[in-house]
Amino acid sequence: MAYRMIMAKGSLDAPKTWELLSQTLKSYDCLPDILLASGTPHKNDLKKYFRSRPDCINVETGMHRILSNPLGHYHFIQTLFDEKQQGPNLWEDTAMSFSSIQGFRQAFIYDLDYDLWQNTSSIQSYQLKGRDYSHLPLRHNRLPPPLDEMEIDTRNNPGRYVFRQGYLEAVGSTMWLGDDFFKLVGAHRRDALLAADWADVRDVAPGVLRVQVAPEPFCDDSTADLQN
């Protein structure tokens, strides 16, 4: 199980992001005194780490892995937070700790392995893992020689994601969507969600909707209609 969050560019720096994440980890007794940051042991306040890496987080706590970095071309900050081993369900508290911050756009829960293969276009990646791709659609990558080759066509996969300007086009089993998100995709999308009979939609904070479309993360395409 994993969690992805999108914040507006400039809304939070890495030290503040880590402060909020570490508070949640600590409340669940999931924050060791020493952790790995970019492969090197550090105290869990990461003060020394941020002196040389003020914009990014690359942390392993033993139970979780956390990556956070700005994606300047798309004008947002992406934070990925996944379980290395099954632990307490802290995603709700994580979402709520960020939802009150100006610039919160979206967060959602997903299955890491399903997400990976739904968005992998490289045939070589399938071959290296011994995965069958004979049933999958292919397309030309539209690159000039000698870089041109065939690739997996992921454009119609139910678990696909697409980077957009300011947000990520994706679906999760549970999602938190802020006002900033609806400013980018259109207020009518918010109205449509509130009227939907296929999801549990609730206001959980000022300007934030919690949308649950399934009790567990999507892990296959048997619910493709719901995911789409």
pLDDT for 88 equals 72
- Beta partners for residue 201, in sequence order: 211
The strand order across the sheet containing 104-110 reads 40-43, 34-37, 57-60, 64-71, 76-83, 2-8, 104-110, 174-178, 208-212, 200-205
Question: Which among 110, 94, 101 has a CA at the least distance from the CA of 25?
Answer: 94
Identify the pLDDT of residue 138: 97
Which pLDDT score is estimated for 82?
A: 92
Question: For residue 30, which of 83, 79, 72 has the smallest C-alpha distance?
Answer: 83
pLDDT of residue 79: 96
**Residue in 106, 82, 77, 95 with CA at minimum distance from that of residue 12:** 77
* Residue 86 DSSP code: -
The predicted pLDDT at position 33 comes to: 95
Residue with tokens 């996944």: 82
pLDDT of residue 85: 74
pLDDT of residue 96: 94
The DSSP result for 210-224, as a single string, is EEES-SS---SGGGH
Place of tokens 């020689």: 145
Regions in the chain scoring below 70 on pLDDT: none
For the chain, the domains span 2-119+157-219, 120-156
The reported pLDDT for the residue numbered 36 is: 95
Q: pLDDT averaged over the chain?
A: 94
Q: CB-based burial of residue 39 (10 Å sphere; 0-12 exposed, 13-18 middle, 19+ buried)?
A: exposed
Q: Which of 15, 98, 88, 1 is CA-nearest to residue 50?
A: 15
Query: Can you tell me whether residue 96 is helix, strand or coil?
Result: helix
